[in-house]
Amino acid sequence: MITCPYNREHVMLRKKYQQHILKCREIYKDKVELLECPFNKGHLVPELEFHQHLKSCDDRKIIVQHLNSEEPDVRPDTRHEKIEADENWDDDRVEDYNPQVYCAKANIIREPRGLFPAQRKAFFKEEERRRRGDAEQPGTSNSPAENRPTPHHHKERLHSKRSSK
């Protein structure tokens, strides 16, 4: 527990101290004159005791000890010869990753999104065939349901027809 420098009757937890000081400073700004310690802003000391506090402040000892400590032995950087690479990975032409192709080949469960009911039904049939291993190549189905536009594409077409009028 810590006491408030503005009013000795105020006792609080250390974690509440900074918040409390802000409130008490406003209340007692005309009645009590306290100076801030340059080593710790949480130390508020009456003007008469300020010089004595500067000499005996625990935080001053930490700062003076740090300033007077020897600098660590810094060794110069070691220099290595530059190694020239025989290959450049940026020059390799690699096929782009296509998540649709991967999903069609991998053993994962896919969900249809934004499809009409007939398209969803065809999708589930195709997925069942794919999981069994007798699926045809993706995109080769001639089902009329699969060739039908999705609801999202349907809205885009309606919007483009309206804007062209």
Convert the pLDDT of each residue in 15-70 to its tens digit: 998 899 889 888 888 888 888 888 888 888 888 889 998 888 888 888 888 777 77
pLDDT confidence of residue 118: 94
> Can you tell me the distance from the alpha carbon of 74 to that of 95, in angstroms, rounded to the nearest whole number?
49
> Can you tell me the distance from the alpha carbon of 71 to that of 53, in angstroms, rounded to the nearest whole number?
28
pLDDT confidence of residue 119: 94
In this structure, the strands spanning 2-3 and 11-12 are antiparallel
Convert the pLDDT of each residue in 61-116 to its tens digit: 888 887 777 776 777 777 788 888 888 888 778 888 998 888 888 888 888 889 99
146-154 contacts at long range (C-beta below 8 A, 24 or more positions apart): 146/119, 146/122, 148/116, 148/118, 148/119, 150/114, 150/115, 150/116, 150/119, 151/114, 151/115, 151/116, 152/114
pLDDT confidence of residue 121: 94
The ranges assigned to domains in the chain are 2-66, 112-150
pLDDT confidence of residue 55: 87
Of residues 108 and 141, more confidently modeled? 108
Residue 8 is encoded by which pair of tokens?
Answer: 């000795």
- pLDDT-derived band at 159 (thresholds 50, 70, 90) equals low
